[in-house]
Amino acid sequence: MSDRLLDVDGIDAAYGQSRILRDLSLSVDRGEVVSLVGRNGAGKTTTLRAILGILTPTAGTITFDGEDITGYPDYETVNRGIRYVPEERQAFPDLTVDENLRMGQLKSGGEGTLSLDEVFELFPRLADRRSYNGSHLSGGEQQMLVIARALLGRTKLLLLDEPTEGLAPQIVEDVIEVVETISEEGVTILLVEQNVRAAMAVADRHYVINKGQNVFDGTTPELREAEDVMERHLGVG
Ligand code: ATP
């Protein structure tokens, strides 16, 4: 089995007439945490949508686990173990934490990456709140809930879209810890972030994109050294 789990090779993608991604490439090896960073509107979410199959690339290929999945619909990519946690944390507001999690279990027929007991062990905050309704959780708790729910499915690759967005700094720390914990559980993660500090805290390697194109890739120390990239494309001076 090769180390490579995901290979996005030179994809273009558009919404109608507006071309968003141009010759974009990235790869993720098994067990890695890789970040995709860039300014607002750079095309990060669009890249995740193309991988998941919500949007079909007009050029290039996407290979997952050795199989060409370019243009596969989302139910096919989900079946193969790709899970997307969107920016708008979609916990069911009227269901309890427990019920929300069981929805994730349903999809996997009980053979998820984690069991419900393991989820409660890894996320004690959710265990404490298992009878709370989704609508009564804080932003950070909702983020944990949707990540945990994805892990109750058979997840080989977790696509996390700006998990720290809108969270207070202390809660950002908690989310970073959660990402670290699930990575230690062996889950491979592609993390989209605008918060480059958060991305550097958890990811092994980074892809910086601008206007739908690759502008940099490298390790955390390499990105830290690339001051021009940090300033021009990430607004970090
Ligand atoms: P953000 O942090 O704002 O989510 P992003 O890097 O994820 O930024 P995308 O959401 O991928 O960026 O958006 C890239 C470009 O595509 C933007 O110019 C955006 O306006 C445009 N776009 C996004 N979704 C659609 C859509 N459904 N129809 C048309 N254009 C879209």
Residue 117 in any domain: the answer is yes
Beta partners for residue 229, in sequence order:
none
Could you tell me if the ipTM is greater than 0.90?
yes
The answer as to whether 5 is a domain residue is no
Residue whose Cα lies nearest atom 30 of ligand 1: it is 15
Check the CA dihedral 153-75-207-89 and report its sign: negative
Residue 91: what pLDDT?
83
Whether 148 is covered by a domain: the verdict is yes
Ligand 1, atom 21: closest residue by C-alpha: 41
* pLDDT at position 115: 87
Task: Pinpoint the alpha helices (H) of 59-195.
Answer: 74-79, 97-108, 116-122, 124-128, 139-151, 169-184
- For 85-109, give the DSSP string: E-SS----TTSBHHHHHHHHHHHHT
Whole-number Å distance between alpha carbons of 102 and 113: 14
**Residue 88 — pLDDT band, cuts 50, 70, 90?**
confident
Between 91 and 30, residue with greater pLDDT: 30
pLDDT in tens, 177-231: 889 988 988 899 999 998 999 999 999 999 999 999 999 999 999 999 998 988 8
* pLDDT, average across residues 136-160: 89
Q: Is the pLDDT of residue 139 over 60?
A: yes
Residue 110 scores a pLDDT above 70 = no
Nearest residue (by CA) to ligand 1, atom 22, is 15
* pLDDT attached to residue 106: 67
Residue 194 CA, closest ligand 1 atom number: 2
131: pLDDT strictly greater than 90: yes
Residue 159 confidence (pLDDT): 96
Domain assignment present for residue 14? The answer is no
The residue range of the domain holding 147 is: 31-53+74-233
Structural domain contains residue 155: yes
Tell me which residue has its CA closest to atom 19 in ligand 1: 41
Q: Phi/psi at 94 (nearest 5 deg)?
A: -95, 0
C-beta atoms surrounding 20 within 10 Å: 20
Q: Specify whether the CB–CB gap between 127 and 120 falls below 8 A.
A: yes
The pLDDT assigned to 237 comes to 66
Write down the pLDDT at residue 109.
Answer: 55
Q: Say if 20 falls within a structural domain.
A: no
Q: Are 211 and 43 in contact (CB under 8 A)?
A: yes
223: in domain:
yes
CA 193–ligand 1 middle distance (angstroms): 14
What is the tally of structural domains in the chain?
Answer: 1
Q: What percent of the chain has pLDDT over 70?
A: 97
For the chain, the maximum distance between any two Cα atoms, rounded to a whole number of angstroms, is 49
Residue nearest atom 2 of ligand 1, based on CA coordinates: 40
- Testing ligand 1's pocket by substitution, the residue of 35, 45, 209 carrying the most ligand atoms inside 8 A of its CB is 45
The binding-site residues of ligand 1, defined as CB within 6 angstroms of any ligand atom, are 15, 18, 20, 38, 40-46, 194
Mean pLDDT over 108-114 rounds to: 69
Q: Is residue 22 part of a domain?
A: no
Instruction: Tell me the pLDDT band of 30, cut-offs 50, 70 and 90.
Output: very high
Mean pLDDT (whole number) for 158-166: 92
Q: Which residues pair with 191 in a beta bridge?
A: 35, 160
Rounded to whole angstroms, what are the CA distances from 20 to 23, 87, 175? 10, 19, 29
Residue 27 has pLDDT above 70, yes or no: yes
| Confidence band, pLDDT 50/70/90 cuts, at residue 138 | confident
| Mean pLDDT taken over the chain | 91
Kindly report the CATH number assigned to the domain that includes residue 79. 3.40.50.300
Torsion over CA: 178, 182, 185, 191 (sign):
negative
Q: Whose CA is nearest to atom 25 of ligand 1?
A: 15
> How close is the Cα of 187 to the center of ligand 1, in Å?
27
Ligand 1 centroid to Cα of residue 100, in Å, is 28
pLDDT digits (tens, 9 = 90+) for 52-66: 999 999 999 999 999
Pocket-testing residue among 12, 19, 44, 234, ligand 1, by greatest number of atoms within 8 A of Cβ? 44
